Structure 1
Amino acid sequence: MRDTLSPDTRAHLIRTAQALADAARPETLRHFRTGIASDDKGPGPGGRFDPVTEADRAAERAMRAVLARERPQDGILGEEYGTLDGTSGLTWVLDPIDGTRGYISGTPTWGVLVAVSDAEGPLYGIIDQPYIGERFFGGLGEASVTGPLGTARLRTAPARPLAGATILTTFPEIGTEEEHRAFRRVADQARLVRYGMDCYGYALLAAGQVDLVIEAGLQPYDVQAPIAVVTAAGGIATGWDGRPAHGGGRLLAAANAEIHAAAMELLAGS
């Protein structure tokens, strides 16, 4: 489908994606650092606390209202309100707050994720950090960030040895014991490893600040916007086995083909 989209349709998809992020921003900021209550949706990956707040729900409702007006023919996959089938062959994949644990802790590393996808994967994605005011977007010919420092083109970092690399992930334990051991094989070779980034790690990868993001136990709404942004910026985002990862699971996002291959070799067998 992506090869048959008209210029007008591509422009409308971009405008709609930006409108979705615009709609979610005030809903997330309304409750940020207010001591908002959270519910536990049940054990997340590894049995972890998996919170949800009214800010998550309100932001997704606001985005769905935009889609009902602008793109009623498209499907929706959202973290909080599930799946709505469409007729166009396009699906909007929404994570109203990726990193709710960070959100309720007051850290500004959570984000609003928006992607529009066809059967082959994401066409366009946005990683929006409302509190900082940064928006990273990529796909359909775009790869840019807007924020306090202005607007800049996104470009991932050039190749360098794994021994000089910076790696980001969210949880130190990363997933199962086997997945953790595989991650450590890569992390032990790197210069620097940082934790707790959620979706903001992929934004930093797209901006050329870091070399790798490695995660596991992910859902489609966790990965589709980051995959779009990272690949538009010149990076590579696949499963740990090199296959497409837009369905979730294990994600290896890399600044370039060289470091992607080096990391994948160490992850092999997990």
Structure 2
Amino acid sequence: MAEISTELANELWDTAHALTDAARAAILPHFRSRTLNAVNKLEGGFDPVTVADRAAEAAMRAVLAQRRPQDGILGEELGTSSGSSGLTWVLDPIDGTRGFLSGTPTWGVLAALSDETGPRLGIIDQPYTGERFCGGLGRAEMTGPMGASALATRAPRGLDQAILFTTFPEVGTKADRLAFERVRDRARLTRYGMDCYAYALLAAGQIDLVIEAGLHAYDIQAPIAVIEAAGGIVTNWEGGPVHEGGRALAAANAELHAEALAVLNGT
């Protein structure tokens, strides 16, 4: 796609903030509600969706219908709609619905804007804590209760000094788990269960690595944009693009990424 002008970039950022504002308003009345129910989308497992997920995506789509009707949309709950601009909004209204149901503030709203090359901008938004992490098109910044600050990933350090996150201890397949455990066993500290908030912490310079498997495009595109803008790197487990989903390795810097990638692949 052609270079995005400053004027268009500002318009796109205004739209991205409007999307996440709308999602916040739709979601927060339901968070920690004792009457909130979930529908399971996964036969033989548990992949919940709530009225808050669907209301938030509907609110985000309403914003796009008003502001950017020419753009495509890929959403977790309400599917795909085509556009004419070459740009697509990739939406996950609540990434971490299991955490949302549990009352933990580790879920988030994900919004990315992509073209044929992958994500150009992204937001990871945590409505309950009021934190918003933004990256792409010349921006790498967060806002929250302590004000605004620049995003920057951690300086290089060895894997033996790294803080590693993943959402599920079982990671993916048995082979995926064994590969993850090779990295886990060399890392200084490993934590679990943070969903998209782990990627936000990586972009903010708090942790070093996130490793996950079984992702969809709407799970990873916003984190890619935010982390890369902050100076990090996100690939699949082979070192290639991961914006269509699959197995992701996010690292604070290229040096640590290379070390973790080698351990993941047993080399």
| Aligned equivalent of 1:11 | 10
Q: C-alpha deviations, 1:224-258, integer Å up to 9, x for none?
A: 00000000000000101110000000010000001
Q: Does 1:75 align with 2:75?
A: no
Offset of residue 266 of structure 1: 1.1
User: What code does the residue aligned with 2:184 have?
Assistant: A
Q: Which deviates more from structure 2 when the two are superposed, residues 52-61 or residues 28-37?
A: 28-37
Secondary structure (helix, strand or coil) at the match of 1:122 reads strand
List structure 1 segments (4+ residues) > 2 angstroms apart after TM superposition. Answer: none
Q: Does 1:89 align with 2:64?
A: no
Q: Does 1:250 align with 2:247?
A: yes
Aligned ranges 1:176-191 → 2 under 5 Å: 176-191=173-188
User: What code does the residue aligned with 1:138 have?
Assistant: G
TM-score after normalising by structure 1: 0.97
**Structure 2 CA distance, aligned partners of 1:267 and 1:192?**
17
Q: Does 1:103 align with 2:100?
A: yes
Q: C-alpha deviations, 1:139-171, integer Å up to 9, x for none?
A: 000000100111000000000010000000100
| Aligned equivalent of 1:41 | 41
| Aligned equivalent of 2:259 | 262
**Structure 2 CA distance, aligned partners of 1:224 and 1:70?**
21
**Structure 2 CA distance, aligned partners of 1:218 and 1:262?**
22
| Aligned equivalent of 1:234 | 231
**Structure 2 CA distance, aligned partners of 1:263 and 1:167?**
10
Offset of residue 222 of structure 1: 0.1
**Structure 2 CA distance, aligned partners of 1:251 and 1:226?**
11
Offset of residue 48 of structure 1: 3.5
Percent identical among aligned pairs is: 65
Structure 2 unaligned residues grouped into runs of 5+ = none
Offset of residue 104 of structure 1: 0.4
Secondary structure (helix, strand or coil) at the match of 2:89 reads strand
TM-score after normalising by structure 2: 0.98
Q: Does 1:61 align with 2:58?
A: yes
| Aligned equivalent of 2:19 | 20
Aligned ranges 1:143-222 → 2 under 5 Å: 143-222=140-219
Offset of residue 10 of structure 1: 1.0
Secondary structure (helix, strand or coil) at the match of 1:4 reads coil
CA RMSD of aligned residues (A): 1.1
Q: C-alpha deviations, 1:3-37, integer Å up to 9, x for none?
A: 42222111111110010000000111010000310
User: What code does the residue aligned with 1:266 have?
Assistant: V
**Structure 2 CA distance, aligned partners of 1:212 and 1:269?**
17
